[in-house]
Every structure is written in structure tokens, then in C-alpha cells.
Amino acid sequence: SRRRRACLAVAGRDRDRGIDLKEGRTESVTESEEEGVGLRLIKDGRMSFAYGGGIEDDSVERLYARAVEQLPHLEIDAARCLAEPALEPAGSAALRASLVDPAMFSAPLSALLPRLKSVHEKTLALDSRVSKVLNIGYSESFEEAAIATTTGILSYECENYCGFGLA
């Protein structure tokens, strides 16, 4: 039965990048990407979990084998189960669509340098009591995740965001 045996797979990926200025000069430029797959397996009241970095064609099969190996060593709890699909609340699609700004990651970080330097100069010129701007930084991130279960849940979500700091 679906309650006795179930599987949940989550694949996720994120990308981050940023640029920091210290006293008006480039201090650091960073860029990173991460991805991975997690698998939760429930069988006869036992629940196991396996995770692996990277997303390869055989990721789910390898993680499934690792999760199955764990099952005999785990406690039984008859109440363990995965969620069943539910109707999506009204407005969810519009909300999801608003979580991604296509302008992000569209230009190289070096293109932001003149804008950050301009903020540095304008901050100093704004008030004579400000004698120094120690740090200015900008960062942006993009995240996405896909979720699938044997109970019928299938979902994909993505979002991006940015941050700016001045000290």
C-alpha cells in the first residue's frame, strides 16, 4: 500500500555571486554553484534518508540503494508516511511567477562595479560628517528545487533575490 511504502525525491540547485568593495576598491568577487539530490524512503514504518551532492543521471538510483541499506537498522513507527497531494491554493501560480526577476544574473558582475563606485562617491558627498565608506557589497542568488513523491506530489519552485550593503 502507499502508506506502507513511499519515496520522496528532492533535487535542488542554487547559484550565488557577489562583489565587495573596501574603501572604494574591489576587495572580492565571488561566484558559486551547488546542487544535490535528497531521497527519503519509507517502508513498513521505517524511514531512511540519503543525500548526495551533484545531480547525475544515476543519482536517484544510487541514493535509493543507500536508503534501502539503512532500513533494517531503523525503528518502526506505523504512523510514518508521506503527504498526499492537495489542491493548490488560488493565486499560487501568480506568486511563483513573481519570485523570479529575469534581470538578475543577466550582466557580468564587473558591470556593477561603476554603480557601486558611484554609490561610494555619492555617499561621501551626501553628508560632510561621513568621512569614509568602509564597505559596499552586492550579492544575488538563484535557487530552484523539484520535488516528486510516489504519493503523487510533483512540484517545481524557483526564486531569486539580491542584497546590498553599505558600511
In the Cβ-directed half-sphere of 154, how many Cα atoms lie within 13 Å?
Answer: 2
The runs of H, that is alpha helices, within the chain are 59-70, 92-98, 113-126
pLDDT in tens, 80-105: 888 888 888 877 877 777 888 988 99
Looking up cell 551547488, which residue turns up? Answer: 34
Decide: helix, strand or coil at residue 95.
Answer: helix
pLDDT in tens, 35-70: 999 999 999 999 999 999 988 888 889 999 999 999
Q: Is the distance from CB of 18 to CB of 137 less than 8 angstroms?
A: yes
What pLDDT, on the 0 to 100 scale, is given for residue 3? 58
Taking residue 6's Cβ as centre, other Cβ atoms within 10 Å add up to: 20
Q: Is the distance from CB of 9 to CB of 82 less than 8 angstroms?
A: no
Residue 2 pLDDT more than 60?
A: no
Cα–Cα distances in Å, from 44 out to 5, 8, 39, 71, 140?
A: 6, 15, 17, 9, 43
How many whole angstroms separate alpha carbon 61 and alpha carbon 56?
10
